[in-house]
Structure 1
Amino acid sequence: MTARVLIVDDIPTNVKLLEARLLAEYYDVVTANSGAKALSICQEQDIDIVLLDVMMPEMDGFEVCRRLKADPKTQHVPVLMITALDQTSDRVQGLDAGADDFLSKPVDDTQLLARVKSLVRLKSLTDELRARAQTSQQIAAEDALQAMNSISAKDGSILIVDTDRRHAERIAGYLQVEHRVDILTEPMDAVFQVAGGSYELALVSMSLKDFDPLRVCSQIRTVDQARGLPIILMADEADKPKVVRGLDLGINDYISRPVERSELMARVRTQIRRQRYADVLRDSVNSTIALAITDELTGLYNRRYFDRHMSLVMAKSLEQERDVAVMILDIDHFKSVNDNYGHDVGDAVIREFAARLRRNLRGVDMACRFGGEEFLVLMPDTDVRVAELVAERVREAVADRPFEVGLSRPISITISIGMALYENMDDTPEVIIKRADVALYRAKHAGRNRVMVDAA
């Protein structure tokens, strides 16, 4: 495995010795005689590992390492510190600075090559993961740009708030060529109007009779579905100080009277396009979050989310002295389903099982796909009696009706369930899940299609 190695040492003899050893193993070697030079090289080149001497003038190796690890561009580059210091405190200082490993002088060839190969391998893996993350970011950015370019600003839903009906109807006449427009001449009803409609833009006159237009705007924003609703003020020259105040309060834009048709259309299009773009991005973020915590095949939570949530539930149960039960469920003889019918049918069985599981749990229970054909269910505030009743209900829901999975005949499926309770203060999520897994093994050994409880 080839890699680019940076050797940093202010003593030329040390540099030459290390360089000769690494070149003999076909590494690409770069050298620096100071900490400042090393930092500069790491910024300009793709370095795979840094061999860093500790004792250097001006900037010692600890400081160089700290700076490398503090920079997002270089923090993933492994640093192998080479030192004549043999005190434990020196190694602790190096670890605190972010060093990945140490070598003592005089450097042993075998240890040098072993450490370099190990850290280069780690760097290669890190680079791959960073590249995947960067690809994901690029795809997200491309999708966002594509969404922005593809969004139409036509056929918007607009509310005009104006006590002067003639003026409101003239503005509506400009907009109705491209949009759907409602007029509200009673500002006191603005909250109800917005709550009952799906508006994408509000145009509010600054000349409302007997009403403060900025207060009307703030009231509109109190409606949950209108918190991000774009608002454009229609203002006279004398209203400028209040318009500035409105912009400070979050009003999106204003247009001066007399309103010019083309300017109005342009400003309306801009706000509607931004609103729709924000909605697309919001949906994308929500989708990304959902993917991060749910299993794609079943729609249940994934193991990552389960582990974190279980820790929270256990902490709360300990504080409030409440019961917690965990059950682990496994589809019996699932391998034979895949072997006899194929993985597509196996996936269909898993999806149908997840659906039946979801339907037969209580609202407080949380299910996740543990992996493959295994599932976990977290049952807060649940004693053993209730937990067994729920487990039996799930087991019967699976066994009593064959699975329709697109074959000529439905498949009979059964499950085995192991259960454990949070009964000891020292229990961790891993311990409880392990006990439930032991109970599952007992259920399998006893003939499958049954529930077993493992008490602490």
Structure 2
Amino acid sequence: MPKRRILIVDDEPDVRTILRATLAPHYEVVEAQDGLDAAQKLDVVEPDFVILDVMMPLMDGFETCRVIRSQPRWKEIPVLFLTALSSRKDIVTGYEAGANLYLTKPFDPARLLRVVQHFFEEKNLPYQRKKYTVEEIQNLEHAESVEYASARARANAEAASVGPTAAPSPEPKESAGAPQEKAWYEGKRVVGRAETEEAERQKQAEMRARAMSPRPPRPRVLVVDDEEDLTAICAIALEGEFEVATANDGIQAVEKITLYEPDIIVLDAMLPKMSGYQLCQSLRRNCRFKRTPIIMISGKSSPRDREYALRLGATDFLAKPFSAEDLVTRLKTLISQPGFQIHPKSISGEQMVAEEKRRRELEEREDKFLRKQESELEKFLRENQ
């Protein structure tokens, strides 16, 4: 029987080495160095079980688990937290985030193995066939770290040039002595009309073919900023020439980067939950996004701030406040660079728009529910003072 596959997520190489040595004789093992790396690898690795550290840079294990659970395909995947956090509050937080099991460090490797084996025996989960072997995954990661995946071929949307239309020839006057000339003209007119109609049919067919042919792929841009007005303005300014999604904090950005696979990221330096600097650093360590253009935006615009952003891996730096035209110009400059590519996506632009709409509607319903609950609570408190 094929081995089940376990994804180990921990920022400490020594811990990953111990876990691999413990589990590899019984399971296939794949490693991830942080939450973003884990979320990005899920669809390729297709793990049967995840072992997740909590105290990691960029995004902690609790947030990583929530990101994993937010994806329908991985909503039920078994997750074991392995962490030094041992308080009752931390354990409750872990299970609320979606954990199936919770073990504390330092850990006994033999006990960990027994826990994992018992879980599989008790749940009797069916084995899922994988698209890639572990070796193929390693080769794929190496290939992506050297060179990005092949870009989609851009469709040729050039319109066929149409020459100027010739003016109609004047109809010759009828003369009593020229019946043969009239017959000749009438015949020519019928033939000419047929040729014109055929040309028109061909023109209409070409227009229909162009309309039905796939549009050239547009670059996909993710705009990340905690100011919702700014992200909304950017989305409106960019939506004609780009596929656009937005995020308002670092954790949401990680989730959407993993799901939408943007070609360019516009990233605010100062974000809640996770700074843009931290996210930029993590992206540059990730084989899939290490070359993705990143425009860092910030209200701090000194030469030192710009130098710091570029040193962390930003491709460009844009100081706030900026106009929509400034952003469009920077984006056009990036996509005109020789090395820029539009990469194949797991979901289409239409699917992304539908998903963004679904998320907005869900957030609006949640906000409406919370406001109603707060209103009822305030009413209850007033009546019982």
Normalized against structure 1, the TM-score is what?
0.27
Flag the structure with more relative contact order, 1 or 2, with Cα contacts below 8 A and sequence separation at least 6.
2
**Whose Rg is larger?**
1
Normalized against structure 2, the TM-score is what?
0.31
Q: Which has the higher strand share?
A: 1
